Amino acid sequence: MITVEQALGIIRQNIPPAQFEKMALMESLGRVLVEDVFSDVDMPPFDKSAMDGYAVRSEDIQSPPVELEVLEIVPAGSMPTREVKPGKAIKIMTGAPVPRGADAVIMVEKTKYEPSTRTVRCLSTIKKNANICFKAEDINAGAKVISRDTKITPQVIGLLAAVGKDKAQVYKYPSVAIATTGDELVEINQKPNGAQIRNSNTYSLLSQLVNIGMPVTSLGIVRDNIEIMMEKVSAGLKSDMLILTGGVSMGDYDIVEDVLKKLGVRILFDQVAIKPGKPTVFGIGPKGQLVFGLPGNPVSAFVITEIFIKEALSLLCNDAGIKNRIIEAELAAPIASTSNRQQYLGARILQDGLVEPIDGHGSADILFLSRADALIIVPPDAPQLAVDSHVRVMVF
């Protein structure tokens, strides 16, 4: 049986080359840039006032109070028409161009305007250059402002907008289809009876993918019947990635792997030394599609998605942020369970950097999973772990 690291290695080796697309700025939020971005303007584009106040010659007001004649008012968006000469001032708003002759802006709070004489009384001294943002002090026209491989966050969107990028060249997201298999499954608006259970996997899986911005379609519930499954899987293979849940164990009706092989999917592994999720299947479709068969148990399907599917997606989209962070933490409670497989145990991060394992009843216990915000990674054949042991933790 291959290890988790070997399985990840096989996935990494089989990721098809990244694809790119051009998107409208707002659609590109969350994507990763393919191109360096350069500014087409200086920022600020002109010497601009950082305050509402009066543009003055600093030397004129070295012995306050000083009266200056107010020549005009310059709102943001207007050009000054006059020059500040000795004894003069120009009223100026934040963001307006500083008039010729002025070398500082005194804020309005430190002045008093006298309408009858159209003069302003300056009540304090000011240093040369005070409250002026100089042309190009932030960015020079032509300078690189964002490097390729940067993730487009709201902060980056603001910069892209400022440099006039109304479209961005980004890594294309794969199309993803999911299908869940099982004769026992009923939809969530139905009350299960007899041997039935509700289909929860479709919804946890959809939300795991939607949460990272992935476009995903659900093919719904597929019955454990070769012909029906062939039809659904064929439809699913039109996507770049197909994820199936259930039907990969050793039961008589676990036919997913057979169906995949019949449809030309090359199986690259079908067992991993991982707990939960040992029977996980990974293969490559005839057109290079990535195909995952996850165990049907909800906790297994969830955990394998966090580990293997997010690895594949992060490489396809060149976005390490899709993967969960791995941190080191101290155990707040002991871990008694041992295994020859690598374990991923549901856990909660406590405020003080401690991590607390959550007791569950195994890979169907969806209640305990709902309380977890992390997985403690226990290597294969690790001894029982005492309180205060250092462990690696995957944080959702």
Distance CA 148, CA 66 (A): 53
Where is 375: in which H helix or E strand? Answer: strand 374-378
Written as one string, the DSSP assignment of 124-158 is S---TTTTEEPTTSSB-TT-EEE-TT-B--HHHHH
Write down the least CB distance from residue 185 to ligand AMP, Å.
5
Nearer to Mg ion, 305 or 342 (CB): 305
Residues in region 252-311 near Mg ion by CB under 5 A: 296
Of the candidate residues 247, 277, 279, 298, the single one contacting Mg ion (CB under 5 A): 247
Peptide bond into 44 cis (omega under 30): yes
Q: Which of 264, 296, 250 is nearest to 277 (CA)?
A: 296
Write down the least CB distance from residue 198 to ligand AMP, Å.
7
Nearer to ligand AMP, 202 or 208 (CB): 202
Of the candidate residues 99, 174, 182, 285, the single one contacting Mg ion (CB under 5 A): 182
Write down the least CB distance from residue 281 to ligand AMP, Å.
11
Q: Which does 180 bind (CB under 5 to 8 A by kind): Mg ion, ligand AMP, none?
A: ligand AMP
Of the candidate residues 80, 247, 277, 346, the single one contacting ligand AMP (CB under 6 A): 247
Q: Which does 184 bind (CB under 5 to 8 A by kind): Mg ion, ligand AMP, none?
A: ligand AMP
Binding pattern for the stretch 152-181 against ligand AMP, x by CB under 6 A and - elsewhere: ----------------------------x-
Strands 274-275 and 342-349: parallel
Q: Which of 138, 55, 36, 68 is nearest to 103 (CA)?
A: 55
The alpha helices in the chain, defined as continuous H runs, are 4-13, 154-162, 201-210, 226-236, 256-262, 298-304, 310-316, 366-370
182 is an interface residue for ligand AMP by CB under 6 A: yes
Of the candidate residues 49, 111, 119, 297, the single one contacting ligand AMP (CB under 6 A): 297
Mark the segment that binds ligand AMP (CB under 6 A) among 18-26, 248-256, 270-278, 316-324.
Answer: 248-256
Write down the least CB distance from residue 20 to ligand AMP, Å.
34
**Quick count: other Cβ atoms within 10 Å of Cβ 53?**
25
